[in-house]
Amino acid sequence: RKLNVNAEAESEELVDPPKIEDKLGAVPHGLSTDSDVAKRESESMSRKNLRSNAQKFEFQAEVSRLMDILINSLYSNKDIFLRELISNASDALDKIRFLSLTDKEILGEGDDATLEIQIKLDKEKKILSIRDRGIGMTKEDLIKNLGTIAKSGTSAFVEKMQTSGDLNLIGQFGVGFYSVYLVADYVEVISKHNDDKQHVWESKADGAFAISEDTWNEPLGRGTEIRLHLRDEAGEYAEESKLKELVKKYSEFINFPIRLWASKEVDVEVPADEDDSSDEEEKPEETSTEEEGDDDDSEKGEDEDEKKSKTKTVKETTYEWELLNDVKAIWLRSPKEVTDEEYAKFYKSLAKDFSDEKPLAWSHFNAEGDVEFKSVLFVPPKAPQDLYESYYNANKSNLKLYVRRVFISDEFDELLPKYLSFLMGLVDSDTLPLNVSREMLQQHSSLKTIKKKLIRKALDMIRKIADEDPDESNDTEKKDIEESDDNNEKKGQYTKFWNEFGKSIKLGIIEDAANRNRLAKLLRFESTKSEGKLTSLDQYIKRMKPGQKDIFYITGTSKEQLEKSPFLERLIKKNYEVIFFTDPVDEYLMQYLMDYEDKKFQNVSKEGLKLGKDSKGKELKESFKDLTKWWKGILASENVDDVKISNRLSDSPCVVVTSKYGWSSNMERIMQSQTLSDASKQAYMRGKRVLEINPRHPIIKELQERVVKDPEDANVKQTAELMYQTALMESGFVLSDPKDFASRIYGQVKNSLNISPDAATEEEEDVEVEAEAEAESKTSEADSSKEEDLDVKDEL
Ligand SMILES: Nc1ncnc2c1ncn2[C@@H]1O[C@H](COP(=O)(O)OP(=O)(O)OP(=O)(O)O)[C@@H](O)[C@H]1O
């Protein structure tokens, strides 16, 4: 909401803002004298009221809430504001440098073309200024970027603050600028964009900000200066030493020079006036050059001595721009020279993640050949909360693209496939052209090669986390390796990786056919033999029984549920290992992962399970022929394809298996739970069902006998239907008609309690509604009189 008001008068009336020139005496920049400017500058700096003739705006509600939180925050680490401002300045410099690639004029000349960040302190007035010669902001940019448009991160951050309260994360939510209010109670943003005049944005974080055209400050040329009027309790930031420490700590990897207007004590030779030379001995801090002289010099002529005694050395404070960072980009250095600590710090600055956790892994390499580039990739310690939300719609990439050291973009999703979008890092290419637009670059043929190499390197890096993790190895020889500190640090890292990013690897198997095998190597899961830990396909293969051809797996909602599944009975008895897949994405995954190292995957709840030949197979099939045929007939209306003798059951009487290419029961459940799934497709994709019976089970044996005796026995038919429905449930299907199932069960209960199947439920007596209402009012009257009684008793 835009309001033109007179802030000092606090009137809400819409008025024409008085022209700034009227108030300040209309001296244009070009004509103002230095002292005029200085006077006005100091005037504006000391004033903590928003300029009365400025255009005033209200902050967007979420932004206002965010500022309230910041200004009232008891958060002790207020340091973060500086790195956020430096990071914004660096972004602004990156932007102008990028634009200048296609239009040299844009940079201007002299100081304007100096791409650096300057920090200046006014100790007395407690004003800290951070200035850049970046792209700057137009008036409209100031209004939009600093207050009226809430970014998606704003409310997410506000919400997060209410629960966890770690302000350190502010940069990750794209609202870093507002952290200035941790240390300042009044902030001015002076900005000059090539397309607009210089403007001042100012706010005391009290719900409003103001913008005025700037006619009193020194012209910036181009760029932005943020002036923080420090709060009383933030005095420590008015110390040079503190600012130097912060830049070293947080902004080491900024690719532009950061300079501080730093004071320096220097020895200066000044002529010693007569009075001074007479008291020389009483002023030990002022060293005369004579004292510094060598003894031998005393032999020099008197004239010379006299000349020397006429000067003296005094300490003087001078100011100069002191460079605070080493601008050599980390990725240009040799990986051997960069320490682990430096990589960890670099990660933090890239990810704006200043928590204590280190990245799980990194890879720093130079790619040579047709396409040359340097890259550093990181696996973050934690997955962002929204990693899989709108996975297919979000255009998110965490890789920064540089071309010959010039930052181009961090929105290049062509560099990595979606499933690796959780990686952080950068690519600096020497091959890509510099002077073309982002759109042209996006279509450059080298990008494909870069992408291919990045994927390989990324997968190698992830594999290495597993290789170096002592927990990952089941080999006894490897376990014997002495436990070094390094080993301890790597212990459990792959499980950590898997828990954070395992789903991405699975999505990779689905999406990236070319790297499917490499990705399958990274897959982890629990199995009937993994003893509660994660295991891999390679380890599974090592444990396979002689003669076992397939890799067995089962899908469902939880390991606990699957462990009891009838599908596993015989496999476990025969000591086969079965993988548990319990993530909904696993069902999709297994549609793409057909085999691994020449071994086929077999879902043990589907047709086609081979467990060696049953010596009595043929015989059993023959002797249960009557039952299977009869049962198939009974279930004709149930979409059951066949009734067969099972080779997977041991203790259960029967199970329902699905055809090889149809959905498993688990997949049916997943599809049913999807709001937008298409019912007609569900019917079409539903796997054909086969009822498998256990010929050694007493119920099945009894049924066979009864069917042979009387295939029309209604009771046996009922039992057979009930058996099928029970098997459906136990096999993980959702019953389409639970009422029917329940009635059958009650029928059986009646039977076991010797109650006639026709015994009806007793009718309830009909009570007239009016009579009921009357009765109710009487009881409530009685209740209240009882309560009164109690009150009286209490008082007594
Ligand atoms: N020094 C600056 N020069 C030019 N524009 C700036 C400057 N500082 C801030 N801005 C503008 O204000 C916007 C808001 O800054 P803010 O720090 O809140 O978020 P961000 O920079 O987008 O994200 P992050 O906090 O993660 O850096 C920026 O996106 C940018 O457009």
Q: How far is the CA of 311 from the centre of ligand 1 (A)?
A: 53
pLDDT in tens, 551-577: 999 999 999 999 999 999 999 999 999
Q: How confident is the model at residue 157 (pLDDT cuts 50, 70, 90)?
A: confident
Mean pLDDT of 85-95: 95
In short, whether 145's Cβ falls inside 6 Å of ligand 1 is yes
Candidate from 59, 84, 88 with most ligand 1 atoms within 8 A of CB, to mutate: 88
pLDDT at 10 over 80: no
pLDDT at residue 548, rounded to an integer: 93
Collect all residues with Cβ–Cβ distance below 8 Å to 185 and sequence separation of at least 6.
48, 71, 204, 205, 229, 231
pLDDT at residue 417, rounded to an integer: 93
State which ligand 1 atom lies nearest to the alpha carbon of 132.
1
Cα(592)–Cα(509) distance, integer angstroms: 7
Question: Is 301 marked within a binding site?
Answer: no
Tokens, residue 501: 């990013």
pLDDT in tens, 608-624: 888 876 677 788 888 89
Higher-pLDDT residue of 19 and 598 is 598
Q: How far is the CA of 133 from the centre of ligand 1 (A)?
A: 14
In short, whether 89's Cβ falls inside 6 Å of ligand 1 is yes
Cα(666)–Cα(671) distance, integer angstroms: 9
Mean pLDDT over all residues of the chain? 83
Q: How far is the CA of 127 from the centre of ligand 1 (A)?
A: 21
Collect all residues with Cβ–Cβ distance below 8 Å to 664 and sequence separation of at least 6.
555, 587, 603, 605, 606, 658, 687, 732
Question: Is 528 marked within a binding site?
Answer: no
CB-CB contact of 301 with 235 (8 Å): no
In short, whether 84's Cβ falls inside 6 Å of ligand 1 is yes
Q: Which of 302-311, 397-406, 436-445 has the least mean pLDDT?
A: 302-311
For atom 8 of ligand 1, the residue with the nearest CA is 88
Q: Which of 100-104, 423-427, 510-514, 523-527 has the least mean pLDDT?
A: 100-104
State which ligand 1 atom lies nearest to the alpha carbon of 136.
4
Higher-pLDDT residue of 611 and 309 is 611
DSSP 272-307: PPHHHHHTGGG-TTSEEHHHHS-GGGGGS-HHHHHH
pLDDT at 20 over 50: no
Cα(235)–Cα(121) distance, integer angstroms: 12
Pairing of strands 599-603, 550-555: parallel
CB-CB contact of 669 with 630 (8 Å): no
Cα(237)–Cα(178) distance, integer angstroms: 17
What phi and psi, each to the nearest 5 degrees, are found at residue 778?
-65, -45
Higher-pLDDT residue of 273 and 462 is 462
For atom 29 of ligand 1, the residue with the nearest CA is 145
Mean pLDDT of 171-199: 92
Share of the chain above pLDDT 70, in %: 82
pLDDT in tens, 738-789: 999 999 899 889 988 999 888 888 888 877 666 666 666 665 555 555 554 4
Collect all residues with Cβ–Cβ distance below 8 Å to 374 and sequence separation of at least 6.
331, 332, 365, 366, 367, 427, 428
- The pTM for the full model equals 0.75
Q: How far is the CA of 362 from the centre of ligand 1 (A)?
A: 28
The ipTM is 0.98
Cα(474)–Cα(493) distance, integer angstroms: 15
pLDDT in tens, 211-261: 999 999 999 999 999 999 999 999 999 999 999 999 988 888 898 999 999
For atom 13 of ligand 1, the residue with the nearest CA is 145
Cα(392)–Cα(588) distance, integer angstroms: 15
In short, whether 662's Cβ falls inside 6 Å of ligand 1 is no
Mean pLDDT of 117-140: 96
pLDDT in tens, 344-397: 999 998 888 878 889 999 999 999 988 999 999 999 999 987 788 777 777 677
Higher-pLDDT residue of 116 and 485 is 116
pLDDT at 137 over 90: yes
Cα(626)–Cα(647) distance, integer angstroms: 19
pLDDT at residue 12, rounded to an integer: 34
Q: Which of 24-33, 147-156, 288-297, 331-340 has the least mean pLDDT?
A: 24-33
Q: How far is the CA of 238 from the centre of ligand 1 (A)?
A: 23
For atom 15 of ligand 1, the residue with the nearest CA is 177
How much of the chain is helix, strand and coil, in % rounded to 5? 45, 20, 35
Question: Is 502 marked within a binding site?
Answer: no
pLDDT at 15 over 50: no
